[in-house]
């Protein structure tokens, strides 16, 4: 389980997260949604051990997070993370040397599913294929916790769709938790169990997708409602 | 094929409706094996948890049964399937009637229209 307890994170006086407490358990896909600058990415970076909380604690399987937590946490950054001078095959080789839980067979399968050729140079890949590649490298790990920061950002609908299908195909919810931050709620809603709305560093609401829909609205409408009519969410 | 889901209803319920329709229509026959939870989740683009909830509900409803190590199958209980067919008929008729009433049509007008429809059909 990932446990954030009264976590605050400030950057030069700006509060990115403000007294946040959440638990994430295995077996679930959770979406963290909210506007730009709401604290979505910061919360993932805290869980990935890339930044430290200013206050409170972040525990994963009861262990405080630090850089070593990458042993059990697969984190996909919003930025390009694969060196451009690698080929697809070389980036796979490199990733397999970095993480003992990297599953080569699964990686090959994901590459095939995503229709990526191992001989292609990363710098010659389209933006969509770079998105597919970093997702393939992340999902190829048998890590109990997978964190994806804005996996759909700037990608066209076809690429988003193939990434959604890849997620469903290659996540093992008996052993893994999947946490995704996103703006593209509509695409991802069918694969979420739970959704957390965050704004100005605070959690506004935490709900199951079924629970939201039983009240007769989808997640976008739910988010618009709790964000308040005055300052629409604009998804 | 990814499904476009309605916005105001839980996804597992929409999958239930979809599978029930396929069974009533005869696209899935008594004793047919349903796709595995994972395969069907990938095909329709939903969370495997949602799909497994759908299958569990189908079992509770007596429309499907899971055989250990073999998968989930459409029930061979013809009586239950006939009942499902009637339930679907009632449900869809009710929704038709309520929409027509909203538009101000009387039951008699509906019946008349249905008769005409039948003549046109045959």
Q: Residue A124, Cα to own-chain centre: how many angstroms?
A: 25
Element (H, E) at A184: none
**How confident is the model at residue B121, as a pLDDT?**
66
Best interface-test mutation with B: which of A164, A177, A210, A222 has the largest number of B CBs within 10 A?
A210
User: Which residue in chain A has the smallest CA separation from B53?
Assistant: A210
Q: Give me the residue from B3, B7, B45 closest to A218, CB to CB.
A: B7
**How confident is the model at residue A230, as a pLDDT?**
47
**How confident is the model at residue B122, as a pLDDT?**
57
Rounded Cα–Cα distance for residues B11 and A68 (Å): 38
**How confident is the model at residue B40, as a pLDDT?**
95
Q: Give me the residue from B3, B7, B47 closest to A193, CB to CB.
A: B47
**pLDDT tens digit at each of 235 positions of chain A:** 999 999 999 998 889 999 999 999 999 999 999 988 899 999 999 999 999 999 999 999 999 998 899 999 999 998 888 899 999 999 999 999 999 999 999 999 999 999 999 999 999 999 999 999 999 999 999 999 999 999 988 888 888 888 899 999 999 999 999 999 998 888 889 999 999 999 999 999 999 999 999 998 999 999 999 887 545 454 4
Going A131 to A137 to A142 to A145, the CA torsion angle's sign is negative
Closest Cα partner for A152 from A51, A31, A45, A37?
A: A31
**How confident is the model at residue A41, as a pLDDT?**
93
User: Which residue in chain A has the smallest CA separation from B39?
Assistant: A169
The DSSP secondary structure of A26-69, one letter per residue, reads TT-EEEEE-STTSSHHHHHHHHTTSS--SEEEEEETTEE-SGGG
Helix axes A104-113, A127-139, angle to 10 degrees: 150
| Any B CB within 8 A of A148 CB | no
Q: Is A46 exposed, middle or buried (0-12, 13-18, 19+ CB in 10 A)?
A: buried
**Residue A233 covered by a domain:** no
**How confident is the model at residue A47, as a pLDDT?**
96
**Residue A145 covered by a domain:** yes
Going from the C-alpha of A59 to that of each of A1, A2, A144, A157, B102, the distances in angstroms are 8, 6, 14, 36, 56
Query: In this prediction, what percent of chain B has a pLDDT beyond 70?
Result: 96
| Any B CB within 8 A of A218 CB | yes
**Domains: count for chain A:** 1
pLDDT one-digit tens code per residue, B33-70: 999 999 999 999 999 999 999 999 999 999 999 998 89
Going from the C-alpha of B18 to that of each of A133, B40, B43, the distances in angstroms are 34, 12, 14
User: Which residue in chain A has the smallest CA separation from B13?
Assistant: A210
Please indicate whether, in this complex, the C-beta atoms of A191 and B42 are within 8 angstroms of each other. Answer: no
Best interface-test mutation with B: which of A110, A160, A168, A185 has the largest number of B CBs within 10 A?
A168
Please indicate whether, in this complex, the C-beta atoms of A190 and B46 are within 8 angstroms of each other. Answer: yes
**Residue A16 covered by a domain:** yes
Q: Residue A119, Cα to own-chain centre: how many angstroms?
A: 28
Confirm if A54 and A4 have CB atoms less than 8 A apart.
Answer: no
User: Which residue in chain A has the smallest CA separation from B43?
Assistant: A165
The CATH number for A193's domain is 3.40.50.300
Q: Residue A177, Cα to own-chain centre: how many angstroms?
A: 10
**Residue A201 covered by a domain:** yes
| Any B CB within 8 A of A161 CB | yes
**Residue A232 covered by a domain:** no
**How confident is the model at residue A235, as a pLDDT?**
43
| Any B CB within 8 A of A13 CB | no
Rounded Cα–Cα distance for residues A17 and B1 (Å): 39
Rounded Cα–Cα distance for residues A182 and A82 (Å): 21
Q: Residue B112, Cα to own-chain centre: how many angstroms?
A: 28
How many Cβ atoms from other residues are within 10 Å of residue A189's Cβ? 23
**Residue A235 covered by a domain:** no
> How many angstroms separate the CA of residue A174 from the nearest CA in chain B?
10
- State the complex-level ipTM: 0.83
Confirm if A202 and A16 have CB atoms less than 8 A apart.
Answer: no
**Residue A234 covered by a domain:** no
Within chain A, what is the greatest distance between any pair of CA atoms? 51
List the domain range (segments joined by +) for residue A215.
Answer: 2-227
Closest Cα partner for A126 from A116, A138, A136, A112?
A: A116
**How confident is the model at residue B1, as a pLDDT?**
58
Please indicate whether, in this complex, the C-beta atoms of B45 and A190 are within 8 angstroms of each other. Answer: yes
User: Which residue in chain B has the smallest CA separation from A162?
Assistant: B45
Residues of B in contact with A31 (CB under 8 A): none
**How confident is the model at residue B3, as a pLDDT?**
75
Q: Give me the residue from B2, B41, B50 closest to A161, CB to CB.
A: B2
Best interface-test mutation with B: which of A30, A191, A217 has the largest number of B CBs within 10 A?
A191
User: Which residue in chain A has the smallest CA separation from B2?
Assistant: A161
């Amino acid at each position: 389980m990932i446990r954030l307890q009264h976590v605050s994170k400030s950057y030069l006086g700006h509060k990115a997260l403000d007294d946040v407490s959440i638990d994430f358990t295995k077996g679930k896909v959770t979406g963290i949604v909210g506007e730009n600058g709401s604290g979505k990415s910061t919360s993932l970076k805290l869980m990935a051990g890339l930044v430290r909380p200013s206050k409170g604690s972040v525990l994963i399987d009861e262990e405080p997070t630090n850089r070593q937590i990458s042993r059990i946490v697969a984190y996909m950054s919003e930025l390009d993370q694969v060196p451009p001078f690698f080929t697809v095959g070389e980036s796979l080789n490199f990733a397999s040397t970095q993480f003992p839980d990297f599953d080569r067979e699964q990686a090959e399968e994901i590459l095939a599913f995503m229709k990526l050729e191992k001989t292609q140079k990363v710098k010659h890949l389209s933006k969509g294929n770079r998105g597919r590649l970093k997702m393939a490298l992340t999902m190829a790990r048998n890590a109990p916790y997978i964190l994806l920061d804005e996996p759909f950002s700037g990608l066209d609908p076809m690429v988003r769709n193939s990434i959604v299908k890849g997620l469903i195909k290659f996540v093992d919810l008996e052993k893994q938790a999947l946490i995704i931050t996103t703006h593209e709620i509509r695409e991802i809603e069918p694969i979420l169990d739970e959704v957390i709305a965050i704004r100005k560093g605070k959690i506004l609401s935490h709900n199951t997708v079924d629970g939201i829909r039983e009240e007769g609205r989808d997640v976008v409408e739910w988010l618009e409602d709790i964000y308040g009519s005055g300052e629409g969410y604009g998804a | 094929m990814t499904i476009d889901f309605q916005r105001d209803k839980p996804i597992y319920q929409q999958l239930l409706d979809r599978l029930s329709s396929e069974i009533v229509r005869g696209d899935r026959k008594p004793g047919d094996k349903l796709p595995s939870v994972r395969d069907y989740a990938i095909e329709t683009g939903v969370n495997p948890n949602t799909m497994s909830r759908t299958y569990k509900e189908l079992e509770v409803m007596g429309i499907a049964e899971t055989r250990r190590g073999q998968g989930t199958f459409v029930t061979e209980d013809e009586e239950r399937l006939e009942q499902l067919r009637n339930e679907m008929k009632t449900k869809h008729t009710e929704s038709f009637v309520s929409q027509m009433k909203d538009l101000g049509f009387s039951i008699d007008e509906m019946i008349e229209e249905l008769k005409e429809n039948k003549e046109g059909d045959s």
